[in-house]
Structure 1
């Protein structure tokens, strides 16, 4: 794309490089896709060839993709792309899903995981907060989450953090496309070992249903129908055991009050 824009502007690689300034070899590398300019340099190149922000925006997305690939395990990369494409996501886990987390809740999770997995906490946090945009776009994803009841009571970070997270969840359920349902303690867990970690079923336009699972050091995005079918059956059986949306909302509200009581004692 840069090559076409440069030629349309009547510039050679050397002439364009002199305007930035960058070496001709660097310009050639960017045109071949072997080099990605920094944000300021990318904007200078964009201005020089009259791309009206198109090149700068493209490189911004490329840098974000590279950042995500560096921050997260390889088996999560496919999910991040699928999440952006999804029109419906069905989730189950023992913690609130990433796109519904407050900043403090997410930070507490990353901080607790840092001794085992390392990585830059603030960079991971930035990516996670940006992922929440799938709930805020003009045509937001339908997001249905089944949470084990333990997610409401296990303290992530502090009672204050939990109060804020539960308050955020109560605000989210006011949206027509977001639903939380709770699997209570007194119900069985269908699927046994399948239920360990997180399970997400994703519907995407023009593609087969996919499932993403993760647990500890492992995870995968599955698209083979026979494999997806196992997790679809698990989720459908799980759906029979959970509380209604109304009862789940009341339980979230009750849990928030209990965390709040701990906050006010100190």
Structure 2
């Protein structure tokens, strides 16, 4: 157990050794998970928690609790975000109708829940509007451009939006050849943080994983680079998006 973590545990509850032991035991017992067992009386500010990997496992409207932790406490502190998406447009680059169509198709979701997730996604995208927006390096399987989500007008607007957002200095979009086998393992993101370890999240159909474990971060980073070898140059990718946009008529 590192002295910095112990110091923050002591800072949170200097007069309660039992609470500090509970916090430290929870951290030590789950070294590769982002959510740790923290005593309900222990309050650590997000700006202190982010570098340590301490994130409250609470839920609120707008998505699963594991992912909302990523949205609240990882992405806002990132300087660089690298993403790979083999099936859908990345969440940070989705239009509102595209996101709404996706969430409305979730199994056993109510209209209110779907709308909560749409609004949470739009709020999440605001990090790209900041003056100090993180660099977003998005790799997208070329098949995503022709995968119908909603009607033709929705898809055309979505691809037009990709062309628009790609003009931002902090955003890079590259399409990946469908023959890229290393990308078949699923979507993921890599966040480089200002004051914390590089952290990843990897999607799954049940519960995604968010971790700063060095071995897992290295494995995901290596996979990102393997996928990037199959990516078309950015100017070629944008030309391809423009061409496919014309197909959605």
Same fold (TM over 0.5): yes
Structure 2 unpaired stretches of 5+ = 1-39, 42-55
Work out which of the residue numbers 243, 252, 256 in structure 1 matches 2:241: 252
Q: Does structure 2 retain, via aligned residues, the 8 Å contact 1:68–1:127?
A: no
Q: Does structure 2 retain, via aligned residues, the 8 Å contact 1:173–1:180?
A: yes
Question: Structure 1 residues 67 and 155, CA, compared in 2 at 3 Å: closer, same or farther?
Answer: farther
Q: What's the CA shift for 1:117?
A: 4.7
Cα distance in 2 between the residues matched to 1:191 and 1:168: 24
Cα distance in 1 between the residues matched to 2:163 and 2:144: 14
CA RMSD of aligned residues (A): 2.2
Q: Structure 1 or 2: larger helix share?
A: 1
Question: Structure 1 residues 153 and 67, CA, compared in 2 at 3 Å: closer, same or farther?
Answer: farther
Secondary structure of the residue that 2:202 maps to in structure 1? strand
Question: Structure 1 residues 254 and 121, CA, compared in 2 at 3 Å: closer, same or farther?
Answer: same
Q: What's the CA shift for 1:69?
A: 2.6
Secondary structure of the residue that 2:137 maps to in structure 1? strand
Cα distance in 1 between the residues matched to 2:70 and 2:57: 15
1:240 and 2:229 matched = yes
1:181 and 2:174 matched = yes
Higher relative contact order (CA 8 A, sep 6+): 2
Q: What's the CA shift for 1:182?
A: 0.6
Counterpart of 2:129? 136
Counterpart of 1:225? 214
Q: What do the CA deviations read for 1:200-240 (whole angstroms, capped 9, x no partner)?
A: 00011121111101121120111011111110000011111
What TM-score, normalized by structure 1, do the two folds share? 0.68
Q: What do the CA deviations read for 1:167-204 (whole angstroms, capped 9, x no partner)?
A: 0000011111101111122x322165xx22x2000011
What TM-score, normalized by structure 2, do the two folds share? 0.72
Work out which of the residue numbers 153, 157, 161 in structure 1 matches 2:146: 153
Q: What's the CA shift for 1:74?
A: 2.6
Counterpart of 1:126? 119
